[in-house]
Structure 1
Amino acid sequence: MDNTSGASRPSVLFVTDLAYEARGRRYGDEDVFLTSRLREEFDLALCHPKDAAALSDRFDAVVVRNSGPVLHHQEAYDAFRTRARERGTRVYNSLDGGGDMAGKQYLVDLSRAGFPVIPTVDRAADLPLLPPASAYVVKPKLGADSVGLRFVRTPALSAKEEGTLLVQPRIDFRHELSFYYVDRDFQYALYAPDPDRRWVLEPYTASAADLEFARSFVEWNPLRHGIQRVDACRTADGALLLVELEDLNPYLSLDRVGPEVRDAFVTRLGAAVRELLD
């Protein structure tokens, strides 16, 4: 709703699935913390992603956070996007992202364009473009949380699978790391020193080269407003390769950063939502 009742504070619908169980992540805890802080400057209500379309008209803005993989509520998500576009709803993240928000086609596009990403193809004719590897990863373009992911020794795509599946070489890497941005402003970086424990993260001091790498993807993404998480892996030779550009509802691992960093992030997020409303 437009804030015409005389209230001085904007109203925000915060979309989250507090009960979603994510491996190694506590979605509910993170969003309970975020909403406790955002309530200091917004009139705020929480809802499940399946209720977002029905409720969004009653608020000045909708913030989509830890709502779980869209594939678990695809029909409801599509209805929300359609309604938001028809009504001109202010949505954060805005609905124009080119990363995971639009599926994983961007990995194919960036690979073809020569960006530093894990080599990715989606057509049988392009399989010879992949470098030799001991194993290959095959996963759905519209997948999330490793749903449908499998490893194969020899890459192959049937005619029915072309365009719907991605094929990548399995990369040996030193560690994975993530860079977190609010409206293209860098906030912090974390890394997983143990490759087998993806979500056991520690603060990471990014170098100028690291930040240049991450910013190239943030700048490439047409997303106007929102949080982005640039996930990368560092290969054995020290190079960084993009794993994922998460621009729909990236988990923030705020429990892994210090209080000053956490406070600065919340302050920047609140300012970003106000900028969206302005």
Structure 2
Amino acid sequence: MPRSPRPRVLYVTDLAYEARGRRYCDEDIFLTSRLRSTFDLALCHPLDAAALTDDFDAVVVRNSGPVLGYQEAYEAFRARALAQGTLVYNPLNGRGDMAGKQYLLDLTAQGRPVIPTVDRPADLGKLPQAPAYVAKPKLGADSIGLRRVSPAELTGLPYDEGLLVQPHIDFLYEVSFYFVDDALQYALHAPDPARRWELRPYEITAADREFARSFIDWNTLPYGIQRVDACRTREGELLLVELEDLNPYLSLDLVDEATRDAFVAAMTASVRTAVSVG
């Protein structure tokens, strides 16, 4: 039987993954329903990805849940994809959350606008004084392992277990910027800091755009979907919270139809270009 001229895409998702305040499966059901107009597409669970990649032109990793839940299978998929030159979307050389949270240390050292971060007792003096601090694992995701600690507790933390420490920021709100390749598609913010996933549309300023784009440029991914998470301090400054470059949730159900359509068009063009070039 002749092979279809349309690109064959393996779409990796965990439709059963449960997250607080979000239904990841709905987003992937929507996206795949639209992508099917351009690609021959099949869905698979992340545990099955390594065994199936050979039959596809590209592997799109979307709402597959935190890698911590299937670390061994992910490492097997990653090793196989790199060894065989599999086109993965997003590419596997991201420097953001895809590689752990070392980037928070690197960006702090570079003086970038990021929440100050250290990973050893000797560097605690580099953090600003604060009434409380946040400790979290370098390989954490979805707030797994995150805890708030007092200044007195800082020196006794288990840094040898791969721990990061940051000052607890009394911010006004959090805001997320959503990119396809290097193009900003939309932004959403959480007006109430206590309700992270109760998001509303956010009007992007020129300064906001420059802030978010600077981290996309720093990450140097040739293509893919990224989410830049930031917080607005009471002094008006934006600080990076996370650079999500593996499988960022997109909250597409919270934007209007025109924005959703534009995002789908941008993603479709991006995947199609990646396949044709790669």
1:139 to 124, 136, 140: 136
Letter in 1 for 2:237: A
Q: Using the TM superposition, give the Cα deviation of residue 161 of structure 1 relative to its aligned residue in structure 2, in angstroms.
A: 2.0
Contact 2:132 2:148 in 1 (8 A): yes
What fraction of aligned residue pairs are identical, expressed as a percent? 68
Letter in 2 for 1:230: V
Q: Using the TM superposition, give the Cα deviation of residue 5 of structure 1 relative to its aligned residue in structure 2, in angstroms.
A: 3.1
Q: Using the TM superposition, give the Cα deviation of residue 114 of structure 1 relative to its aligned residue in structure 2, in angstroms.
A: 0.2
Q: 1:186-218, CA deviations, whole angstroms, 9 ceiling, x for partnerless residues?
A: 100010111111111111111000111101111
Structure 1 or 2: more helix by fraction = 2
* Secondary structure at 2:159 match in 1: coil
**Distance in 2 separating the partners of 1:24 and 1:224:** 31
Alignment of 1:275 with 2:273, yes or no, is yes
Provide the residue aligned with 1:129 in structure 2: 126
* Secondary structure at 2:115 match in 1: coil
Provide the residue aligned with 1:164 in structure 2: 162
1:10 to 7, 10, 14: 7
Please show how residues 245-260 of structure 1 align to structure 2 within 5 Å. 245-260=243-258
Contact 1:175 1:193 in 2 (8 A): yes
**Distance in 2 separating the partners of 1:128 and 1:88:** 44
Alignment of 1:28 with 2:25, yes or no, is yes
Q: What are the ranges of 5 or more consecutive residues in structure 1 without an aligned counterpart?
A: none
1:80 to 60, 74, 77: 77
Provide the residue aligned with 2:67 in structure 1: 70
Letter in 1 for 2:25: G
Letter in 1 for 2:235: D
Provide the residue aligned with 1:174 in structure 2: 172
Contact 1:11 1:43 in 2 (8 A): yes
Q: How many residues are matched?
A: 275
Provide the residue aligned with 2:196 in structure 1: 198
Q: 1:15-67, CA deviations, whole angstroms, 9 ceiling, x for partnerless residues?
A: 00010001111100000000000001101000000000000111110000000
Q: What are the ranges of 5 or more consecutive residues in structure 2 without an aligned counterpart?
A: none
Contact 1:123 1:163 in 2 (8 A): no
Compute the RMSD of aligned alpha carbons. 1.3
**Distance in 2 separating the partners of 1:185 and 1:96:** 19
Greater Cα shift, 106-115 or 151-160: 151-160
* Secondary structure at 1:73 match in 2: helix
**Distance in 2 separating the partners of 1:43 and 1:158:** 54
Contact 1:124 1:162 in 2 (8 A): no
Q: Using the TM superposition, give the Cα deviation of residue 223 of structure 1 relative to its aligned residue in structure 2, in angstroms.
A: 1.7
Q: 1:150-200, CA deviations, whole angstroms, 9 ceiling, x for partnerless residues?
A: 111025256962471100000001100000000111100010111111111
Structure 1 residue ranges, 4+ long, deviating more than 3 angstroms after superposition: 157-160
**TM-score with structure 1 length normalisation?**
0.96
* Secondary structure at 1:156 match in 2: helix
